[in-house]
Structure 1
Amino acid sequence: MIIDKVSIDFDDHMSVLTGETGAGKSIIVDALGQLCGNRSSASLVRKGENKAIIEGVFSLTDNEKIANVLSELGMDVDDEIIITKEISSQGKSTIKMNYRPLTNAALKMLAPYLLHIHSQFETQSLFSLKNHIVLLDEYIGKDILPLKEQYLHSYKEMKSIEKEIRRIEEEEFSDEQIEYYEKQYNEIKDFSYTEESLQELENEADILKNYEQLHTHVHAIDQLLSSSDGAFEKIDATLHELDEIKDMDEYEEDYNNLYNLYYSLMDVHNHIIDTFGRYEFDEYRFNEVQEELYEISRLKNKYGYSLDDIYEARDTLKQKIDTAKNRDDVLMKLKQSLKSAKKKVEEDAMLLQNMRQQAAKQFEKDIKKELDDLYLPHAAFKVHFEKAAYTKAGGYDVIFMIRMNTGQSFAPLNESASGGELSRLMLAIKTITLKHSSLDTIIFDEVDTGVSGKVADAIGSKMEQLAQEKQVICITHLPQVAVHASHHFSILKQDKDGQTYSNTKLLDEEERINEIATMLSGDHITKEALDNARTLLKR
């Protein structure tokens, strides 16, 4: 886009990126998003260039989740991984990890454990009720995972039985249909080939098909080696001549080497002749093998593309025939199984719900404390549970309720919170949930929009607290947020030779004072702005 070449080394704790609108701050975040598997576009490539290259070097601590994903992808687990994405001017991209090709799907599996990008758009996701249960589970952490897996297994079992009941109830089993199934089943019921036996059959067909040509070549080999003027006679004569001079040390090794080669060649000859001797052309057998292979090919084309497909079709047909002939009994047994499956789902869902309700009490207290710190002292937060139809997530909907002022009633977030309040609430939730996660790097992309003054200072303070345990990268326009960073980068946009370029600079102490002063007073830096900047930075 507007970056020619830039390299940034983000350190521990909190780093802040500042600069005027359009300087390229968001491009840095977009680049990191590309390394997380975001969709590529030709617009990301600078005009007139053939490609854009983004490379991220991630230092890994002992992270079990990343190790598991890397192992699943067949990648080596190391202390450092390098992700490289190359985007062409046509918008196509290639991805590599440690310079080995990687699919975008694999990158998306890995990315959630490398970094988290929190943007204004994500804050709006609080309006979606389906995200509330996800955030609560993030707060609970790994303790809830066994219960979720147990419930999901029960839920899938129940849905599978329900699907089978619907299929049987909806399918027409006429006499003609049953007869059709039986006809198909009968042609594959005795099918018993394996990949190994099929390979042997194909090899036999090749030999029989090429028997005459094989005979010609084997006979020629035999003549070249064992005829009266063949290789064996000539080598034997050569050995005889060498035998006369082998007493000379210089020729003894040559004699021994040729002697060994002679008998090795005889072994090769014998193997060729013996192997061919096992073959015998039988036209009846040749036709039989050809017909057998044709029938296998026909069945594969009819029922699938592999032997496994044929076996699966056979089992399915057998099941349909049994179901058609014993429909009432099959349905009765399935409905009994469904009753047991539903009971198991109810039990597992209640275990899941009990953990969520218990955790919600502490979650509400923790959010309240964070909201107080973010200058929302009259706000109260509550997690509301509402019985609902069973889904993959459980049997209850989770709804975050908020009361912004004393005396008001609790209401869903999307009905009562303003933009600035919503940003603070989301920051409070993220501060709590991310603090205890295995994620190492968190990026805040202008999440402080719509606030200023002491509220901005409180947001910066929250990020600084989180940065004691995580690597935090923040893009902001607010000096009250920027002063909380340990490292300050300025994004500069410059015009050169009719082109616009964006560069990044790590600021020293004096440069940082000037940057904060600029954020306070604009391009014309006053003495008061400089003094104010020094005061903010010295706190």
Structure 2
Amino acid sequence: MLELLHIENIAVIEQADIQFRPGFNALTGETGAGKSIVIDAMGAVLGGRTSRDLIRTGSKKAVVSAEFSGVSSDLPGLAECGAEPDEDGLLMIQREIDGDGKNFCRINGRPVTVSQLRALGANLLNIHGQHDGQQLLDEEQHGAYLDRFGRLESALNEYRGVYDAMAELRRSMDALRMDEAEKARKVDSLHFQIDELERAELRSGEDEELQERRDLLRNGEKYLSAVSGADHCLNGDDETGGAVALLQEAENALTHVKGHNGRLEEIWNRLEQLRCEAYDLAETVRDLVGEFDFSPEELDQVESRSDQLYRLKKKYGATVEEMLEYLNRSRRELDEIETADDTLVRLEGQLVKAQKAVSAAGAALTKARKAAASELEQRILKELKDLDMNRVRFSIEFMPKEPVPDGCDAIRFLMSANAGEDLKPIARIASGGELARIMLALKNVLAEQERVGTLVFDEVDTGVSGRAAQKVAEKLAQVSRHKQVLCVTHLPQLAAMADSHFSVEKGEREGRTFTEVVQLDRQRRMAELARLTGGSKVTDALLQSAGELLDEAEAYRKKL
């Protein structure tokens, strides 16, 4: 559960530490005091979207920290972050938001990305905003709700696997289908490109070789002069000997005396090594002189070939290897077009099998959904009765549709708010208060399927009053016995039912607006409940009524 929320420089909150308690926690305050800022801070520390506008005016950065207790080491998302709770099951999450838009996130001191924080946060805390009820009006979301409740990920993934295979076959078949005129144009274009590349007789690595040979030919005279000079020094000519001959003479001069003196023999050995090395080098240089056979015609040929490759590169690829790959692709594409009719026949046979697989997987998914829908209907009706909606009927309707990535079912929630009325789409008959209670019921049922330990309700009481408000308060109290509940509310019934009551209060110091969050004792709770009931004018009668409301709520909680 969420133990501590630390906020620095978020909007009008300069600094606040909120120590939440187990069970039902309520936050109240005047409109504009900053209650929603507390919820925004929770969303931010769990990886929600933020902006620089969230930073308090005059501050360079904002910081939000949250400490969770009872965190299991196998919680989804932890392993991906490389983090784990400490030995007491505590997990500290921190997010810094800089004025330049940068974010710095840490889990138990370990740096993580915002996306990693978001994935983990979804398993720690669930925020139900005051506008979430509008999602019930979007029938596209109804199937997702049902799949979450039924934990149908496995059946859905199996269906998507065969559906994706069928969709890929259809894309392949569409690519092969073209009218005769388009086909003729494409074939002519491919023939021209293939012929042009084949006539070029490309060879891998040829462009590098041409570049090297062209540089050599362009500087041929300079290279030949240098190599010839080295050859003359090593090999000499008809009149003078070169270095090899001189080393040979020196070696011969010492041959007859090398055996009489150790140092002379060492010198002779070194001379022999030098002469052998010089001989090999001289032969290499002499061969190189022979290789430098330059002619203007060869340079013209190399330049012409380089120009040809340059023109081809502009059309088919930056290197010879890329052009060869383009040639192979063109050959394959031409072959596919020329054999398209045969390929289509083969793919049509595969498509028939794929459609049968999709139909079978879709039927299995539908069967699993209908089983889950039957249970969900009963669970929702039970929750709605607890929320004083005894006459409501709730049903999940299935209509077949063409296979799409999420299945073959059009799913929508139907309800009848009053006795004798037909079941109709929720969007057509549900009032704001009814939507809020239906969404609360759905959230409660789904929460039982998840490991999330904390549920946050931001003004879940919108459109609810009187007896219905009391039922919502009792339902939240029931939920808080197995999940921590945090609720922002304007209703005294909900605030009174809370185990812990926090007040969000806005004030002014030195010309700046400040917001504080304080936990209320019984006397201050009575005053706050009286304010919620009667507005700014708090009378003794209102205070007495608030005390009675607290006593009744405490008595109800003891029964749970």
Same fold? TM cut 0.5: yes
Name the structure 1 match of 2:156.
148
- 1:376-415 superposed matches below 5 A: 376-415=389-428
Q: Deviations over 1:37-75 (max 9, x none)?
A: 333223212122222222223345236452xx33345x2
The aligned amino acid for 2:175 is R
The aligned amino acid for 2:102 is S
Q: Secondary structure of 2:523's partner?
A: helix
The 2-side partners of 1:77 and 1:61 are apart by: 9
2:191 to 176, 179, 189: 179
- Given the superposition, is the C-alpha separation of residues 191 and 363 from structure 1 closer, same or farther in structure 2, using an over 3 Å criterion? farther
Contact 1:188 1:314 in 2 (8 A): no
Shift of 1:328: 1.0
2:38 to 21, 28, 34: 28
Name the structure 1 match of 2:103.
94
Q: Secondary structure of 1:489's partner?
A: strand
Name the structure 1 match of 2:25.
15
Contact 2:71 2:85 in 1 (8 A): no
1:340 to 353, 377, 381: 353
- Given the superposition, is the C-alpha separation of residues 62 and 87 from structure 1 closer, same or farther in structure 2, using an over 3 Å criterion? closer
Shift of 1:183: 6.3
TM-score between the two structures when normalised by the length of structure 1: 0.74
The 1-side partners of 2:201 and 2:122 are apart by: 47
**1:470 to 2:477 alignment:** no
Contact 1:23 1:492 in 2 (8 A): yes
The 1-side partners of 2:330 and 2:68 are apart by: 53
1:76 to 80, 83, 87: 83
Question: Identity percentage over the alignment?
Answer: 31
Name the structure 2 match of 1:494.
507
2:168 to 160, 166, 190: 160
- Given the superposition, is the C-alpha separation of residues 319 and 157 from structure 1 closer, same or farther in structure 2, using an over 3 Å criterion? farther
Contact 1:83 1:95 in 2 (8 A): no
Shift of 1:484: 2.0
- 1:86-485 superposed matches below 5 A: 86-90=96-100, 92-98=101-107, 99-141=109-151, 144-170=152-178, 172=183, 174-179=186-191, 182=194, 317=330, 319-485=332-498
Shift of 1:316: 5.3
Shift of 1:97: 2.1
Contact 1:403 1:409 in 2 (8 A): yes
Count of aligned residue pairs for this structure pair: 446
| Unpaired runs of at least 5, structure 1 | 193-279, 285-290
- Given the superposition, is the C-alpha separation of residues 525 and 303 from structure 1 closer, same or farther in structure 2, using an over 3 Å criterion? farther
Shift of 1:334: 1.4
Q: Secondary structure of 1:46's partner?
A: coil
TM-score between the two structures when normalised by the length of structure 2: 0.71
Contact 1:419 1:450 in 2 (8 A): yes
Contact 2:63 2:94 in 1 (8 A): yes
Contact 1:366 1:432 in 2 (8 A): yes
Contact 2:133 2:435 in 1 (8 A): yes
Name the structure 2 match of 1:200.
none
Q: Secondary structure of 1:378's partner?
A: coil
Contact 2:397 2:414 in 1 (8 A): yes
The 2-side partners of 1:385 and 1:376 are apart by: 24
Q: Deviations over 1:150-170 (max 9, x none)?
A: 001111111111111111214
Q: Secondary structure of 2:402's partner?
A: strand
Shift of 1:466: 1.5
The aligned amino acid for 2:104 is I
Name the structure 2 match of 1:506.
519
Q: Secondary structure of 1:523's partner?
A: coil
Shift of 1:314: 8.1
Q: Deviations over 1:242-262 (max 9, x none)?
A: xxxxxxxxxxxxxxxxxxxxx
Greater Rg over alpha carbons, structure: 2
The 1-side partners of 2:67 and 2:380 are apart by: 34
Shift of 1:88: 3.2
- Given the superposition, is the C-alpha separation of residues 515 and 129 from structure 1 closer, same or farther in structure 2, using an over 3 Å criterion? same
The aligned amino acid for 2:354 is A
Shift of 1:76: 2.9
Shift of 1:518: 2.4
- Given the superposition, is the C-alpha separation of residues 461 and 299 from structure 1 closer, same or farther in structure 2, using an over 3 Å criterion? farther
- Given the superposition, is the C-alpha separation of residues 56 and 310 from structure 1 closer, same or farther in structure 2, using an over 3 Å criterion? farther
Contact 2:505 2:517 in 1 (8 A): yes
The aligned amino acid for 2:491 is L
Q: Secondary structure of 2:400's partner?
A: strand
- Given the superposition, is the C-alpha separation of residues 507 and 325 from structure 1 closer, same or farther in structure 2, using an over 3 Å criterion? same
Contact 1:431 1:462 in 2 (8 A): no
2:51 to 41, 61, 70: 41
- Given the superposition, is the C-alpha separation of residues 536 and 310 from structure 1 closer, same or farther in structure 2, using an over 3 Å criterion? farther
- Given the superposition, is the C-alpha separation of residues 316 and 488 from structure 1 closer, same or farther in structure 2, using an over 3 Å criterion? farther
- Given the superposition, is the C-alpha separation of residues 299 and 336 from structure 1 closer, same or farther in structure 2, using an over 3 Å criterion? farther
Shift of 1:320: 2.1
Contact 1:182 1:321 in 2 (8 A): no
Shift of 1:191: 7.2
Name the structure 1 match of 2:549.
536
Q: Secondary structure of 2:460's partner?
A: coil
- Given the superposition, is the C-alpha separation of residues 167 and 409 from structure 1 closer, same or farther in structure 2, using an over 3 Å criterion? same
The 2-side partners of 1:424 and 1:122 are apart by: 11
